[in-house]
Copies of this chain bind each other. A is one copy, B any other.
Amino acid sequence: MTIETAIAELETLLGERFSRSKSDLDQHSHSETYFDPIKPDGVAFPETTQDVSEIIKVCSKHNCPVIAWGTGTSLEGHSLAVRGGVTLDLSLMNKVLEVNAEDMDVSVQPGLTRMALNDELRATGLFFPVDPGANASLGGMASTRASGTTTVRYGTMRDNVMGLEVVLADGRIIRTGTRARKSSAGYDLTGLFVGSEGTLGIITELTLKLHGQPPAIGAAVCAFKTVGDAVDTVIETIQMGVPMARIELLDAASVAAVNAQGALGLPEQPHLLVEFHGSESAVAEDAETLKEIANEHRSISFNWATKTEDRNKLWQVRHDAYHAITQSKPRSTALVTDVCVPISQLATAIEETQTDIENSPIEGPILGHVGDGNFHAILLVNPQNTAEIRVAKELSAKMAERSLRLGGTVTGEHGVGMGKLDLMQAEHGDAWSVMGLIKKAIDPKSIMNPGKLVNQN
């Protein structure tokens, strides 16, 4: 067995930093969603870029798959070893390497989590804004082109990664990008590796853009009679150019799930959760504009969270909503959809999705980063119930087809992994085969996270 030969060499090479223990294999066999657990053949714990390079050289020699692992919080089975091989757990590579406060950038290792980075940055007056909810690793966030609640203001990982160090499938170490704010020096390799889900190489260092901590932050919670009213409020606010830092939708079912966790006691109606960053006066002015627009769309209530603790509680609730929803149905797991459409199509997309879910036998609360046109139905299924899983997959496929028809994408921020592989041809047509050409050119033996993102015969 070629994988077995690689494993034996890696055991010699890494000693205690290589494991085949049941607990380590188990821990790296799970995803957060409905996929069955899949164990890798071994787990490596590199500490340096050189370690990663040497591991990959061994794997390359023996055609052994290599799968990167950050915090295991991805939602499309990205880090499952579907063809066996070695999982590269990057949690020991978790250092901040260099903070350049004057240039508002930072270099970090890939296993560092976004919250740990922001803890280290607190005294500098700077912060890293991309916030997918989970306390994901920054390497993982780059690999899935993560975004989340703050994207409407600060962009996605694509917009906030300036440069990378990457170990290629042959063990070579390359650097992409520079610390300059822009460049026209050839193909945008940084942009290519961001979102490549470990299929082209392993990210071993990231240079990230930072942003100034805003002088003032304000948050608003606003209830509506219908999702349509809430979405129309979002569209109008965006078109007015009101600079929101976050604007999140929770439908009534999501609010009910959140309430069941005893948190905020919100009325069980569709809600917008909004945050503004800026000067005191700008924040107040923007909130007033939002309130007027919401009123025009028959808002039921508009509460302004001025205290930091109230605001933090609010966003904690939003972050915990996914778990609150999955816990709202006993023994359930979730198939999380992730479409993103042009904002003019958002109300149509959400309303038609709600109707489909209402007409189905399963539940699916909806929440989303509606300022980007991105929303998720959390389709609740019993993982043992194949009929439920089939229904959820049909609902998901219908949402994807609708999103493409409306000019959108089948995944706004979760990525392809295994879960969205079947939708790539529909979204990209012949362009998907170009992705395959790139994959084959950079990873000719297909050892880097095989079975994900591209079509590999």
Contact = CB atoms under 8 A, between A and B. Distances in A.
Contacts of A194: 188
Contacts of A103: 342-344
Contacts of A340: 180-183
A438 B435 contact: no
Given A102-B235, A158-B188, A438-B438, A174 B431 contact: yes
Nearest to A194: B188
A105 B343 CA distance: 11
A183 B416 CA distance: 10
Given A102-B235, A441-B441, A342 B182 contact: no
Nearest to A421: B186
Determine the interface band of chain A, counting residues with CB < 8 A from chain B: 35 or more
Contacts of A159: 159
Contact of A192 (B188, B413, B414): B188
B430 A173 contact: yes
A326 to B, nearest CB: 21
Contacts of A374: 180-182
A191 B429 contact: no
B174 A435 contact: no
A304 to B, nearest CB: 21
A413 B102 contact: no
A437 interface: yes
Nearest to A235: B102
A321 interface: no
A424 interface: yes
B435 A189 contact: yes
Nearest to A453: B186
A233 interface: no
Contact of A186 (B195, B373, B441): B195
A192 B192 contact: yes
A410 B184 CA distance: 8
A188 B145 contact: yes
B412 A184 contact: yes
12 contacts: A100-B344, A158-B191, A173-B430, A174-B429, A180-B341, A180-B403, A181-B342, A183-B340, A186-B432, A189-B434, A192-B192, A434-B442
Interface of A: 100, 102-105, 144-147, 151, 156, 158-159, 168, 172-176, 178-189, 191-192, 194-196, 200, 212, 235, 239, 241, 282, 338, 340-344, 372-374, 403-404, 407-416, 420, 423-424, 427-432, 434-435, 437-438, 440-442, 453-454
